[in-house]
Amino acid sequence: MKVTLEREGKNVVKMNIELEPDKVSRAYEMACRQLSHQVRIPGFRPGKAPRMIIEKTIGEEAIKREALEKLVPELINEALFKENLDIITAPEYSNFDFKLGEPLKFEAKFEVRPEVKLGGYKEIEVNVPEVTLPEDALERALTNVAETKASLAPVEGRAAELGDTAVIDFECFVDGKALEGGKADSLMLDLVEGSFLPGFCEQVVGKNAKDKFKAKATFPENYKRKEVAGKEAEFEVHLKEIRKKTTPDVNDELAKSVGHDSLDALKESIKAELHEVVKQENESRAQRMVVEAVAHAADVDIPETMVERERDLLLGQLRRYVEQNGQPWEEFEATDEYTQMKTTKLEEARQRVLTSLVLGAVVREEKLTVNDEEMAPYYAELAMRYQLKPEQFEEFANNEDVRRQVAEEVLTGKVVELLVGTAKINFVPDECTEDHDHAAHGHSGKASDSKNDEEAPKAEAGKKTKKKAE
């Protein structure tokens, strides 16, 4: 086999392959034999028809296609190994020249991984703003616990006030016509300034239970439904009931209602949870900042095609999120929010590609690998997540895509652990700590994850890592 390479652009390679005539003939003969077993030919047992009959029945071109389906991947893999090429896209084939008795010729074009020149990735020093607990964190957490046990009791003998919860039926009219989807029954509406539409709640205040009245409000200019954005709407409202939230006192009785023997026991549990949350956040910050420092210390020329593919993946995730929330994607694409997010996603994609390339380079430099023992806990977690039965687990664990996904997660965790373990990390005061509401995590009996998946840090260890080390 003869292989020649041509470079096109930063990381695109065109490979010209030429295979000797005798090997081409053998591949063609093998395809004939395989097809003779698959096609029923009158007068011949399966696999016994001569080549001339098979060619007449099936056609030479169909046999050639069968031969190429098996031959081409083998040739490509052999050529990639021979030329030591690390490709990152599936080959695009063209210019096939397949004539019996002559060499097989064709071209394959693909992208190869850009060269990464690592900086001193074991000599990284970062200053990490340290998250600390505000002095009132415990009190705020206890308040949150009490809020979870709050109840809404009917109010009698007075009109609705700000802070109440109103139970209302309403129908919305715009330009004198009922708005499609603008009707609700028994809506629980918290009477807070700015809730629902601006000025609406204030018109409910002062009304009594059972009252029927009209209210006016204007849709914001950036409202997601463009046909009503900026327009005034009239509502026919029926105030069915007024309720007032009652929050229990923070005492032993409250503690027992959430599964603790006493208020002191509840406080100790909350303290442990808060400290675990802070610990995890500081570890996450350190991991992210170390990985970003390593990435920016490296020298790599990132092709725009890689960035655009990553951006398209991110926009695909955004599309699924938008559609799951009931908004047509085409409608969202017409908004200013989409235009802004498209730019944001491009920059996020660029950072993710950079991080991925650099982490992959460290993996190869350090010759990191994973084994089945390291992957086992990840399989167990995925099996629990998807509620797999025992008889389904073996098939699941042997699935090639699942194995690749799990191996990537484990490998990414190992490389991040290595980088953090060799870095010098200085925790410094964080001026924003006082504004960070750790108490808002509440108390659920386990540490909460403060990370939002859609805006997750670009590189974190182990299972929290969203981008693989390619």
Tens-digit pLDDT profile for the chain (470 aa)?
999 998 887 789 999 999 999 999 999 888 888 887 877 777 677 767 777 887 888 888 988 998 999 899 999 999 998 888 888 888 999 999 999 899 999 999 999 999 999 999 998 999 999 999 999 999 999 999 999 999 999 999 999 999 999 999 999 999 999 999 899 999 999 999 888 999 999 999 999 999 999 999 999 988 878 889 999 999 999 999 999 999 999 999 999 999 999 999 999 999 999 999 999 999 999 999 999 999 999 999 998 889 999 999 999 999 999 999 888 899 888 888 899 999 999 999 999 999 999 999 999 999 999 988 898 888 888 888 888 787 777 777 777 878 888 888 899 999 999 999 999 999 999 876 544 554 444 443 333 333 333 332 222 322 333 333 44
CATH of domain 2-112: 3.30.70.1050
3-class secondary structure, 422: helix
The segment(s) of the chain belonging to CATH 3.10.50.40 are 151-246
Q: Which pLDDT value is given to residue 130?
A: 96
Q: Which pLDDT value is given to residue 432?
A: 63
Are 93 and 65 within 8 A, CB to CB?
no
3-class secondary structure, 171: strand
- Closest to 235 in 3D by CA, of 278, 281, 286, 173: 173
Please name the residues in contact with 242: beta carbons below 8 A apart, sequence gap of 6 or more: 154, 155, 158, 159, 160, 164, 165, 166, 167, 208, 209
Cα–Cα–Cα angle for 124, 426, 466, rounded to 5 degrees: 65
Separation CA 455–CA 372 (nearest Å)? 31
Q: Which pLDDT value is given to residue 470?
A: 43
Q: Which pLDDT value is given to residue 289?
A: 96
Please name the residues in contact with 312: beta carbons below 8 A apart, sequence gap of 6 or more: none
Kindly state which CATH superfamily the domain 125-136+255-464 is placed in.
Answer: Trigger factor, C-terminal domain (1.10.3120.10)
β-bridge pairing 424-429 and 125-130: parallel
The segment(s) of the chain belonging to CATH 1.10.3120.10 are 125-136+255-464
- Structure tokens, 324: 């799951």
Give the burial string for 296-317 (b: 16+ CB within 10 Å, else e). eebebebbeebbeebbeebbee
Topology of the domain covering 151-246:
Chitinase A; domain 3 (3.10.50)
Separation CA 189–CA 415 (nearest Å)? 50
Cα–Cα–Cα angle for 6, 8, 10, rounded to 5 degrees: 125
The segment(s) of the chain belonging to CATH 3.30.70.1050 are 2-112
Separation CA 157–CA 194 (nearest Å)? 26
Query: At 109, which amino acid appears?
Result: K
DSSP state of 251: S
Question: Which strand (E) or helix (H) includes residue 98?
Answer: none
Separation CA 452–CA 457 (nearest Å)? 9
Q: Which pLDDT value is given to residue 393?
A: 76
3-class secondary structure, 217: strand
